[in-house]
Structure 1
């Protein structure tokens, strides 16, 4: 598999060009899925590349991205890629109702970091907005981004939570409001017969952010690595985006969950040692691994869509190379090590 993957990336543009290249399977799935595509919350970490991938996979479809576009350059970059940017505040019901009623909706809006700083806003973004979207777009297919944090902690040797595990997060407004988000889409899907999927994602990565970047950077810079959350799952962002778009062709009525992540249960201690070996550094480790963690079983994803195209070993190599050259970072730590749900 690795033989067809780049050895390295010379620029952000090269990363994003590779990341947004659609697979033949995605092209076929979108061709079989009638209607245009509306991405709600397109301005986040994953939204721009998902929208660009959709346009490259289905160039004859209208692909639209909705956000407030507070970050400079995002709107212009989408336009250049053929994606139609639409400025709107998703908390504004009137603005929502004025959006184009696309047949296919990818819901990516939400609030995680800063959640404890403004708890009411967190609940409004993660519960009220989904309820309004589910009503306004009841005639559409809706793939709604969620998180593995809706699950309880599971034993690290369990293979991860399956979709049959009931969402009962251990603590925190963020995780609990994410359960609320899912419940709103479930309720209105059952009420109106809206097809959809609940996209329970665990740690999409590229070289600029994610668990691999966080651990690798700390190894490079000699910073301590907390082992409390001792095991994680990760998946290449391009693979995650591809699965999200392909879920439009496999929407169910009522909506149903799917875990989206890599197939490995990654030990942070091992990961730090790998980066240490590649970077020529000795990792500084603190704390002790908990016997449980937020881990997802991705076998349903593998059965429906196949295994991810980018293996863990290649992601580690790419991240090491990126860090060694001190390339750009988004400066957005994942806080994967947090166990109390306070972000």
Structure 2
């Protein structure tokens, strides 16, 4: 394995690292038949996941589907030899007109702004999954979900396991339960092979929990610590494992918590970044004894330990911000506890 650098100097280096496939992923995709379609490729993770899939399986076609409202994204993907198809997934006829590849990664969804337009959130998180599951019932599906489908669990424990009953707070989180149920229904009734990936906080230097905490500390702004614990994972590892999960897709669905194994203390994160920036962090609130945390034992058993450990992620984030690295301006709102986004 290539040694990890001490810092990531620019976005070109960052996106290369985020899309660097593991040997295991190369082997996994080589053993799977057919091409790969990525629905919702235009999000934060989609472009580098698509690039990783193409780098891991250059002989396969990788097709990125999105509305492509972000200027330049389509051209960037095409420069990585990824085919692009513009499609509004709420348009049933357009969705049904898409090519039915053997493998599909579903990444579409809506979170922020949900409190102002709940009906659109439910349409994107439940109606679209129902239509996608029916349209691609003959495909192998890796479906991005979220740890928000769980209730808060005791921070003294190991975190929520995949078999925990789903009873989360708030409309957004419940719409995510609905997303899973739509894919589960088609999987159980039509035999569709599905993997459900409950992701908890992917880390890219330009966004994520570490970026949020570090940015606040650097600016002298308060860090809320009521939700004082979480799990995080390097986005490159998340991309890699999500693509590998296609080989585990099953009926009924295979379910996987996807995150780092450490229970991360937000207070300690703020203190670490304060040391890096030479400032005392401003902390607000009090840690609660329950949080959205997950048990990643199954992930470690099947896919091994993430390649980028937490201390390196902290170092990279601190150096990125110290040198004026760009932010995507998309806060995670990890501190929200009532499910209102």
State the TM-score, normalized to the length of structure 2.
Answer: 0.99
Residue by residue over 1:22-62, the C-alpha shift from the partner in whole angstroms, topping out at 9 and shown as x without a partner, is: 11000000000110000000000000000000000000000
* Aligned mates of 2:209, 2:8 — CA distance in 1: 19
Are 1:286 and 2:288 an aligned pair? no
Which residue does the alignment assign to 2:152?
153
* Aligned mates of 1:164, 1:88 — CA distance in 2: 35
Q: Given the alignment, which residue of 316, 325, 329 partners 1:318?
A: 316
CA contact (8 A) 2:231 2:264 kept: yes
SS of residue paired to 1:113: coil
Q: Given the alignment, which residue of 244, 247, 251 partners 1:246?
A: 244
SS of residue paired to 2:55: helix
SS of residue paired to 1:65: strand
Task: State how 1:103-182 maps to structure 2 within 5 Å.
Answer: 103-169=102-168, 171-182=169-180
Task: State how 1:80-99 maps to structure 2 within 5 Å.
Answer: 80-99=79-98
Residue by residue over 1:280-338, the C-alpha shift from the partner in whole angstroms, topping out at 9 and shown as x without a partner, is: 11000011001100001111011111110000000000000001011100000000000
Are 1:31 and 2:27 an aligned pair? no
* Aligned mates of 2:331, 2:308 — CA distance in 1: 22
CA displacement at 1:166 relative to structure 2? 1.1
Provide structure 1 residue ranges, at least 5 long, that are not aligned to the other structure.
none
Which residue does the alignment assign to 1:195?
193
* Aligned mates of 2:156, 2:269 — CA distance in 1: 17
* Aligned mates of 1:161, 1:179 — CA distance in 2: 15
Which residue does the alignment assign to 2:259?
261
CA displacement at 1:262 relative to structure 2? 0.2
* Aligned mates of 1:72, 1:303 — CA distance in 2: 40
* Aligned mates of 2:248, 2:3 — CA distance in 1: 28
CA displacement at 1:142 relative to structure 2? 0.6
Which residue does the alignment assign to 1:45?
44
CA displacement at 1:254 relative to structure 2? 1.5
Name segments (4+ residues, structure 1) moved above 6 Å: none
SS of residue paired to 1:116: helix
Residue by residue over 1:231-288, the C-alpha shift from the partner in whole angstroms, topping out at 9 and shown as x without a partner, is: 0100000000000100011112211210000000011111111111111110000110
* Aligned mates of 1:157, 1:16 — CA distance in 2: 36
* Aligned mates of 2:142, 2:65 — CA distance in 1: 15
* Aligned mates of 2:100, 2:265 — CA distance in 1: 44
Which residue does the alignment assign to 1:230?
228
* Aligned mates of 1:166, 1:75 — CA distance in 2: 40
* Aligned mates of 2:240, 2:165 — CA distance in 1: 26
Q: How many residues align?
A: 341
CA contact (8 A) 2:248 2:254 kept: no
SS of residue paired to 1:133: helix
Which residue does the alignment assign to 1:57?
56
Return 250-259 or 137-146, whichever deviates more.
250-259
* Aligned mates of 1:184, 1:333 — CA distance in 2: 28
CA displacement at 1:140 relative to structure 2? 0.3
